[in-house]
Amino acid sequence: MSGELQGQPVSRDLRGDEAGDYERLLALYQAERAQREQLEAHVQELQSAQQQLERYATDLQRTHAELRRHLRHMTALHEVSRVISSALDPDEVVRRTVEALAELIVYQVVCIYVLDEREHVAQRAASRGVAGSQPADVVAVGEGPIGQALADASVHLEAAQPRGDAPPALALAIPLRAHGRTLGAIYLERADSDPFAEHELKLMELLAAATAVAMQNALLYRTTRWLATVDPLTEVPNYRYFHETLALEAERARRLRYSLGLLMVDLDRFKRINDLFGHPAGDQVLVAVARAMRAELRRTDVIARVGGEEFAVILPGCGPDAVEAVGEKLRRAVADLPPLAGPGRRRSEITLSVGGAAQGPDEIDPEALLSHADRALYRAKHAGRNRVRVWPEVAVKR
């Protein structure tokens, strides 16, 4: 009896202990579960962050690749622009641009057209690519992608006109425009399976801008040089060019061992022509005289206008006899020009007085040669005009 009584509390205590253990285990389980859920959530956050970082890394790699490509293109474009801009001749600018395009873009055909504003057409100045696949030599403004680019000064991209058995291609025409003026256009073709990307179009526009500026600078340089060395009325070299060329020809004649001749030419009674017929008529006479004399000279001879009605002619390789013969040809060519006629039956013959000199390679002195020719010209004037005299004086047949 006492044993049973004694055992009952023990059973109750054990059950109480088990309940406490269960509650503790349940609490521990719940805590562990909460912790696991937190860890899982944290892992998901880390995985999400990892995926985002991977996307960032991919974007950075793509951006890096694009920046490297852009830098490579800009470096090439800078070098190309430097090379193009150093050219002082428009034809050289065009040639260098065609050569440079191969470094910047893939193409099958490239052509550069230069606009002739007076004729309203563009002439193909340079080309490269598949033989026989280039477009026409001359393109009218407004016709096709090239003509349209010239007409509206904008980029045109369209299907190329089929030529023979050539495969389908895309045509890209970009105007060459500088300071509000269209100078020409760049034309490219390549297979339509390889369309032009946006960055390629931007690159080509930048190159076209650089080429246009270089071309305009070259044209300006050529015009400035022309104005500095050419008489604008007669379009023959001027006084400055004559003296520079005379010194160079004298040095060349000494070095290569040949004679050098010189003619000084003066229109007779030119003031009378201006007084009777007016200065515009006098200008027309000067133009006609320059044209007539130039037609009688060799390509190696140099004629220049060195004064109001005075011309000079450098004759490489000519001794006294040849100088005399050339002077006589010039005198006759001008004497054959139609005389001037005006109101009141006024007429005036156009004639020349010519003085010449020549020196051998051992005695060439530009200043002395010029002085001798001037003295011979004075003798021709003093002898009655419309004649040729050569220093030292040689009898001249009339």
Q: Count the neighbouring beta carbons within 10 Å of the beta carbon of residue 178.
A: 18
Residues 6 or more apart from 263 whose CB is under 8 A from it?
A: 312, 313, 315, 323, 326, 327, 330, 354, 355, 356, 373
Distance (Å, whole) CA 48 – CA 331: 99
309 is catalytic: yes
Give residue for tokens 């004399």: 293
Residue 241, Cα to own-chain centre: how many angstroms? Answer: 25
Task: Identify the active-site residue in 200, 309, 324, 328.
Answer: 309
Element (H, E) at 329: helix 320-335
Residue 104: both structure tokens together: 């910047």
Distance (Å, whole) CA 21 – CA 35: 21
Residues 6 or more apart from 271 whose CB is under 8 A from it?
A: none
Q: For 150-179, what is the HEC assignment?
A: HHHCCCEEEECCCCCCCCCEEEEEEEEEEC
Q: Which of 73, 77, 69, 117 minimizes the C-alpha distance to 97?
A: 77
Residues 6 or more apart from 254 whose CB is under 8 A from it?
A: 361, 364
Residues with a catalytic annotation lie at 309
